[in-house]
Amino acid sequence: MKIEDRITEAVKAIVEELYGQPVADKMVQLQQTRAEFDGQITLVVFPFTKMSRKAPDATAQEIGERLMAKLPEVISGYNAVKGFLNLCISSSQWIKLLQEIQTNPKFGFLPVTDESPLVMIEYSSPNTNKPLHLGHVRNNLLGWALAQVMAANGNRVVKTNIVNDRGIHICKSMLAWLKWGNGETPETSGKKGDHLIGDYYVAFDKHYREEVKQLVSQGMDEEQAKQEAPLIKEAHEMLVKWEQNDPEVRALWKQMNEWVYAGFDETYQALGVGFDKIYYESETYLEGREKVEEGLGKGLFYRRPDGSVWADLTDEGLDEKLLLRSDGTSVYMTQDIGTAKLRFQDYPIDKMIYVVGNEQNYHFQVLSILLDRLGFKWGKDLVHFSYGMVELPNGKMKSREGTVVDADDLVAAMIRDAKELSADKVNKLEGITEQEAQEIARIVGMGALKYFILKVDARKNMLFNPEESIDFNGNTGPFIQYTYARIQSILRKWNNEIILDEKAFETELADKEISLIQKLQGFEAAVRQAGQDYNPSCIANYCYELVKEYNQFYHDFSVLKEEDKTKQQVRLMISAAVGQVIKNGMGLLGIEVPERM
Ligand code: ARG
């Protein structure tokens, strides 16, 4: 049984004995003892003073005395400070806990069974006309981390992606490619498919703007010019043909999307993310239309004289929302309704989490109401995991389009910087091959990027600073990775099994050792908290605190040079456990840790 649980049991029994009243579990409040007092676990005594009819510190004293008598092997001392009973837990208990942590590779994680709630997490969800950018990087990292966190909290998790693969945006790229592409392919151009298509999207835009300018100079007003420009009209015609299943248009569309997907896959792989099931808008938007018509039949929506279909959300304090245009075509919202329908057919979803930027807050507020009205049981409580913008400091890595930072460029730059920065360190590693050095640079560069983005509250806008992120000191991924690598190097030098014998349970631990073990135990609470609040940054901050405390410990105590073999075993076990928890914690964030660095 856990130390806290044993104390809770004992306190309940003691209060009943002393004051003759039953006590509910939640009345027994245990906290970590504040640093300025002796002890590790503190019982809040105030809830019991009404029953004891004594002053808080007299009550604390009374309970403390009995607790010590009842749990002599657990509690080695106590002190009462006003209504707080600070308990000193004996070393043997901490060593037992340490052993439990170190021998349980899944420490801190809840088991997942076939009965566990099914949580679907949608993230990434790109459009197929452009490569992924810095905003997608934040999205992908958050989505992946959140999926790991939810799984570690005992949920069945399905990671999903909705690719917006149809619409006017993709027709623009297609048209530009037909006009100016000369049959160029990823192979002939040497460009990644998503970049190739993105370049044609940019080309479309450039020519289109010229056409608009031309028309305006001929006296047309700008709004009209934007509608009348030959290029945009052609793109619309193409979209109509696409909807009509025109074989040529469909073939081109299929080809170009395939190039894009191959490009996306490379980026996803570099970011270390993946999906269990990918949905495509082209396969869901008609379902959405059907579902809206079904809702219309049930009187949930209404049709205007021009034939368009609307949802009236004014009773919810929102406005009226278009669901089908007068020509019967669907809008963004319609697609999301269709996607929801297919997803629920495929999986018995208990909870749905959408990882989408905060510029779509309103969209998801509306979607939640619509899905609820349409009878999706998870609609009302759907979670829009809404995150803020991320930018680079001015002047850093402006992409070819001049405004957005390309995901592939960013990944490459991070790995290159890590290689340069760690060159002296890594090259000193004995017998290291070029390939190993490159792999370490990849792990460190990606670790820097991921940690920097994930350590901040997702809701906040942020500035990603590459130099700061890759610093080997401070609250960074590489700092944590370095501590991990150092622990592994200690364990390699030891090169022996760590076994605690009888004597270990009789050694007295130093305060710092105890607090480090208690910190390790705190991993469990950090994982729970991250799951409850949908907040991966809890894990990042926990890892940083743990690593700082371990480094203090390593500075103050000898491990390999310790002469007392029992003490040495305990410290090695502490080191191994810290390494394991770092690896698991960083793993929840999608961050790898190197064995050497
Ligand atoms: N593709 C959309 C965009 O780039 C995001 C899709 C978000 N997910 C959703 N279910 N609506 O803005």
> CA-CA-CA-CA torsion for 226, 229, 231, 235, nearest 10 degrees?
60
- How many angstroms separate the alpha carbon of residue 140 from the centre of ligand 1? 13
Ligand 1 pocket test target in 120, 125, 277, 330 with most atoms within 8 Å of CB: 125
- The enclosing H or E element of 237 equals helix 230-243
- The enclosing H or E element of 353 equals strand 351-357
Same domain? For 193 and 46 the reply is no
Same domain? For 477 and 579 the reply is yes
Same domain? For 540 and 422 the reply is yes
Tokens 């809840």 appear where? 110
Query: What's the structural domain count of the chain?
Result: 3
Which 3-state string (H, E, C) describes 485-510?
Answer: HHHHHHHHHHCCCCCCCHHHHHCCCC
Tokens 């460009």 appear where? 191
Q: Which amino acid is at 67?
A: L
Last residue of a domain, one of 244, 273, 302: 273
**Nearest CA, atom 9, ligand 1:** 336
Q: Which amino acid is at 210?
A: E
CA 133 from chain centre, in angstroms, equals 18
Supply angle C-alpha 227, 228, 233, rounded to 5.
Answer: 85
**From residue 277, how far is each of 160, 163, 300, 346, 377 by CA, in Å?**
5, 11, 30, 10, 21
**From residue 416, how far is each of 68, 421, 586 by CA, in Å?**
59, 9, 22
Within-domain flag for 139: no
Q: Residues lining ligand 1, judged by CB closer than 6 Å?
A: 122, 125-127, 162, 164, 336, 354, 356
DSSP secondary-structure letter at 429?
A: S
Within-domain flag for 436: yes
- How many angstroms separate the alpha carbon of residue 165 from the centre of ligand 1? 11
Q: Which amino acid is at 400?
A: R
Sign of dihedral through CA atoms 163, 167, 169, 174? positive
Same domain? For 499 and 413 the reply is yes
DSSP secondary-structure letter at 358?
A: G
**From residue 317, how far is each of 107, 314, 361, 463 by CA, in Å?**
46, 5, 15, 34
Within-domain flag for 250: yes
**Nearest CA, atom 8, ligand 1:** 125
- Which residues, including other chains, have CB under 8 Å from residue 99's CB and lie 6 or more apart? 500, 573
- The enclosing H or E element of 542 equals helix 537-556
Query: Per-residue pLDDT for the chain (597 aa), expressed as one digit of tens each?
Result: 889 999 999 999 999 999 999 999 999 999 999 999 999 999 999 999 999 999 999 999 999 999 999 999 999 999 999 999 999 999 999 999 999 999 999 999 999 999 999 999 999 999 999 999 999 999 999 999 999 999 999 999 999 999 999 999 999 999 999 999 999 999 999 999 999 999 999 999 999 999 999 999 999 999 999 999 999 999 999 999 999 999 999 999 999 999 999 999 999 999 999 999 999 999 999 999 999 999 999 999 999 999 999 999 999 999 999 999 998 888 999 999 999 999 999 999 999 999 999 999 999 999 999 999 999 999 999 999 999 999 888 766 654 455 689 999 999 999 999 998 876 676 677 788 999 999 999 999 999 999 999 999 999 999 999 999 999 899 999 999 999 999 999 999 998 888 888 899 999 999 999 999 999 999 999 999 999 999 999 999 999 999 999 999 999 999 999 999 999 999 999 999 999 999 999 999 999 999 998
- How many angstroms separate the alpha carbon of residue 126 from the centre of ligand 1? 7
Same domain? For 416 and 543 the reply is yes
pTM: 0.95
**From residue 570, how far is each of 72, 390, 540, 561, 584 by CA, in Å?**
23, 44, 26, 13, 21
d(CA 386, CA 307): 34
**Nearest CA, atom 5, ligand 1:** 125
- How many angstroms separate the alpha carbon of residue 363 from the centre of ligand 1? 10
**Nearest CA, atom 6, ligand 1:** 125
Last residue of a domain, one of 48, 67, 89: 89
What tokens does 266 get?
A: 């490379």
Q: Give the atom of ligand 1 at the shortest distance from the alpha carbon of 364.
A: 11
Q: Give the atom of ligand 1 at the shortest distance from the alpha carbon of 163.
A: 1
- How many angstroms separate the alpha carbon of residue 333 from the centre of ligand 1? 10
Same domain? For 566 and 477 the reply is yes
- Listed in order, strand segments (DSSP E) in 48-167 are 75-81, 84-89, 118-122, 156-163
What tokens does 515 get?
A: 């607090």
Same domain? For 457 and 580 the reply is yes
Within-domain flag for 31: yes
For the chain, give me the number of helices (H) and strands (E)?
Answer: 22, 14
- How many angstroms separate the alpha carbon of residue 336 from the centre of ligand 1? 9
SS3 category, 195: helix
The tally of CA atoms less than 13 A away on the side-chain side of residue 347 is 23
- How many angstroms separate the alpha carbon of residue 355 from the centre of ligand 1? 9
CA 276 from chain centre, in angstroms, equals 16
- Which residues, including other chains, have CB under 8 Å from residue 375's CB and lie 6 or more apart? none
Ligand 1 pocket test target in 120, 142, 162 with most atoms within 8 Å of CB: 162
pLDDT value, residue 393 = 86
**Nearest CA, atom 11, ligand 1:** 336
Same domain? For 194 and 79 the reply is no
Within-domain flag for 366: no
- How many angstroms separate the alpha carbon of residue 134 from the centre of ligand 1? 15
Tokens 């399905």 appear where? 158
- How many angstroms separate the alpha carbon of residue 162 from the centre of ligand 1? 7
Query: What does DSSP say about strands 309-312 and 302-303: parallel, antiparallel, or unpaired?
Result: antiparallel
Query: Which domain, by its residues, includes 39?
Result: 3-89
pLDDT value, residue 429 = 76
Last residue of a domain, one of 227, 251, 273: 273
Instruction: Put residue 237 in one of left, alpha, beta given phi > 0 → left and psi -120 to 50 → alpha.
Output: alpha
- How many angstroms separate the alpha carbon of residue 187 from the centre of ligand 1? 29
- How many angstroms separate the alpha carbon of residue 289 from the centre of ligand 1? 18
Supply angle C-alpha 206, 209, 213, rounded to 5.
Answer: 140
Same domain? For 84 and 170 the reply is no
**From residue 193, how far is each of 127, 132, 160, 387, 398 by CA, in Å?**
14, 12, 22, 28, 20
Within-domain flag for 194: yes
- How many angstroms separate the alpha carbon of residue 342 from the centre of ligand 1? 16
Q: What is the CATH number of the domain that holds 475?
A: 1.10.730.10
Q: Give the atom of ligand 1 at the shortest distance from the alpha carbon of 127.
A: 1
Same domain? For 53 and 201 the reply is no
Q: What is the CATH number of the domain that holds 83?
A: 3.30.1360.70
Within-domain flag for 95: no
Same domain? For 170 and 43 the reply is no
Sign of dihedral through CA atoms 525, 529, 530, 531? positive
pLDDT value, residue 400 = 47
Same domain? For 174 and 78 the reply is no
Q: Give the atom of ligand 1 at the shortest distance from the alpha carbon of 164.
A: 1
Ligand 1 pocket test target in 139, 159, 164 with most atoms within 8 Å of CB: 164
- How many angstroms separate the alpha carbon of residue 349 from the centre of ligand 1? 20
Query: 156 phi and psi, to 5 degrees?
Result: -80, 130
DSSP states of 28-70: --EEEPPTTSS-SEEEE-GGGHHHHTS-HHHHHHHHHHHHHHH
- The enclosing H or E element of 194 equals helix 193-217
> CA-CA-CA-CA torsion for 266, 271, 277, 278, nearest 10 degrees?
-60
pLDDT value, residue 361 = 97
Q: Give the atom of ligand 1 at the shortest distance from the alpha carbon of 126.
A: 1
